[in-house]
Amino acid sequence: MAGPSIKRRKQKLSDLIVDEVKAMIVSEKLLPGDRLPSEKELIETFGCSKGTVREALKALEVEGLVWTRPGPGGGAWLSEVGTDPASKALRNYLYFKHLSAEQVYQMRKLIEVELAVSVVGHLGEREFALLDEYIRACSHRPSNEEEQREQRIAELEFHNVLADACPNPLLGFIARFLNETLRDLVVLKKSYQIDAYEFTRSNVDYHVELVTAYRQSDEAGVRRLMGEHMCEAEEHFVALDGQISRKM
């Protein structure tokens, strides 16, 4: 006996054009700034109306993949897509999942260590200067609540420097996303209102040692230090998050 048939929604032609443009980007290894085929060429390729092509280009523009310019000499060009829109969308989704600090660190203890090792040999003087800058920002006891907030952010920005230097873009994105998720927990729950300089001091010590290990291209040292750092950071952050939850 035949099972129940599954009724599939027919894909719109404009959506097919969007998929084909994305396939073109991947297969032809196109780059930001490259120009897409003209409206006329797309109409001829897909045998569709001008309105359908424009609908597809508008969808690509909304996704941030292209920018368009009308009129003579106009057309569509590929855009540089940043991580921020995708990260924000994912974090917005997680706001309604009531994510805990423990759950973030369950992922962070895995991702951050692998990211850290992957970055060995990929840091230049610009990156080292940024790492040193974030260490300095956290190397003194804050005198007010705003300084406490700035130090919480600087601690995470140290790790974002590593994420941005990662040769694996997927690993780098996931690490940055986790850092920004933690930043949301800090800012939205206002955990910076509690004096936690012991936590900051521990982070600074690990960050200093990590920079030394990076300069020495000590892969084993980086792996050990980042693993220990994440375990200790989890302990401090979970305790801090608990204090904030009780206060709220």
58 to 40, 68, 75, 88: CA distances (angstroms) = 16, 9, 12, 21
Q: Does residue 134 surpass a pLDDT of 70?
A: yes
Is residue 156 very low, low, confident or very high in pLDDT (cuts 50, 70, 90)? very high
Domain boundary among 48, 63, 78: 78
Supply the pTM of this predicted model.
Answer: 0.75
**Poorest-pLDDT segment among 53-57, 218-222, 239-243, 244-248:** 244-248
Q: Is 5 a member of any domain? A: no
DSSP 7-49: PPPPPPHHHHHHHHHHHHHHHTT--TTPBPPPHHHHHHHHT--
d(CA 228, CA 206): 9
Mean pLDDT confidence for 74-95: 85
pLDDT number for residue 1: 47
**In this structure, what CATH number is given to the domain that contains residue 55?**
1.10.10.10
Mean pLDDT confidence for 33-43: 91
Q: Which H or E run contains 228?
A: helix 219-247
Whether residue 144 is found in the same domain as residue 60: no
pLDDT number for residue 122: 98
| 75 phi, psi to nearest 5 deg | 155, -160
Q: Is 159 a member of any domain? A: yes
d(CA 115, CA 130): 17
Cβ atoms of 108 and 178 within 8 Å: the answer is yes
Q: How does pLDDT run across 87-101, given as a tens digit for each residue?
A: 888 888 888 888 888
pLDDT averaged over the chain? 87
Strand partners, 35: 77
Residue 1: both structure tokens together = 């006996």
Whether residue 68 is found in the same domain as residue 138: no
Alpha-carbon torsion (102, 106, 107, 112), positive or negative: positive
The domain total for the chain is 2
d(CA 66, CA 58): 9
Domain boundary among 78, 111, 132: 78
Strand partners, 68: 76
Domain extent at residue 67: 13-78
Whether residue 100 is found in the same domain as residue 190: yes
Residue 106: both structure tokens together = 């369950």
d(CA 184, CA 139): 23
Q: Does residue 231 surpass a pLDDT of 80?
A: yes
Residue 36: both structure tokens together = 């897409």
